[in-house]
């Protein structure tokens, strides 16, 4: 996995609990943004971290009101 590509990540909505696929940009080491759940349409705060040369990606999904 190279860090300068888009990567597919499965996340779970913190509101409705449904899983859905998210494309993550591996070229930015740390990012935070809001994306609506594909199922319930509520806003999810996504914190994305890309670690090391191997480009391990961690995605944390939180409710907007957390």
Is the predicted pLDDT of residue 3 greater than 70, yes or no?
no
Is the predicted pLDDT of residue 1 greater than 70, yes or no?
no
The two tokens of residue 17 are 């609990």
Give the start-end residues of each E strand in the chain: 6-12, 19-25, 30-36, 43-51, 56-63
How many CA atoms does the CB half-sphere of 23 hold within 13 Å? 3
Q: 10-60, pLDDT tens digit by residue?
A: 999 999 999 999 998 888 889 999 999 999 999 999 999 988 767 789 999
- Concatenating the DSSP letter of every residue in 37-53 gives -TTT--EEEEEEEEETT
């Amino acid at each position: 996995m190279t860090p300068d590509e888009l990567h597919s990540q499965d996340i779970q909505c913190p509101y409705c609990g449904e899983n859905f696929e998210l494309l993550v940009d591996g070229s930015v080491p740390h990012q935070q943004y809001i994306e609506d759940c594909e199922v319930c349409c509520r806003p999810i705060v996504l914190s994305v971290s890309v670690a090391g040369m191997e480009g391990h990606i961690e995605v944390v999904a939180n409710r907007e009101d957390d």
